């Protein structure tokens, strides 16, 4: 096969896959983490020292103190 055709096909294959990647990347960037999930994590009353929710020596996180 002609070298010109090989180069052309290579560029086409690369371009198609690259466009697919860019589209998915942009969709991913626009997708936001739901707010509820973040709040759920912040409201988990975990001990800032050991991380357990039912710690005997409970030391609340800085955010919870406020």
- Contacting positions for other proteins (CB under 8 A): 1, 6, 9-10, 13-14, 17-18, 20-21, 24-25, 27-28, 31-34, 37-38, 40-41
C-beta of 34: minimal distance to other proteins in Å? 5
Nearer to other proteins, 31 or 65 (CB): 31
Whether 47 contacts 58, CB under 8 Å? yes
CA 57/CA 46 separation, integer angstroms: 11
C-beta of 59: minimal distance to other proteins in Å? 19
Q: For the chain, where are the alpha helices, taking DSSP H only? A: 3-30, 35-43, 62-65
């Amino acid at each position: 096969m002609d070298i010109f055709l090989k180069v052309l096909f290579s560029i086409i294959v690369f371009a198609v896959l690259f466009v697919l990647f860019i589209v998915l990347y942009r969709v991913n960037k626009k997708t936001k983490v739901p707010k509820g999930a973040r709040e759920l994590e912040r409201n988990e009353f975990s001990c800032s020292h050991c991380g357990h929710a039912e710690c005997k020596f409970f030391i609340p996180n800085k955010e919870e103190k406020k």
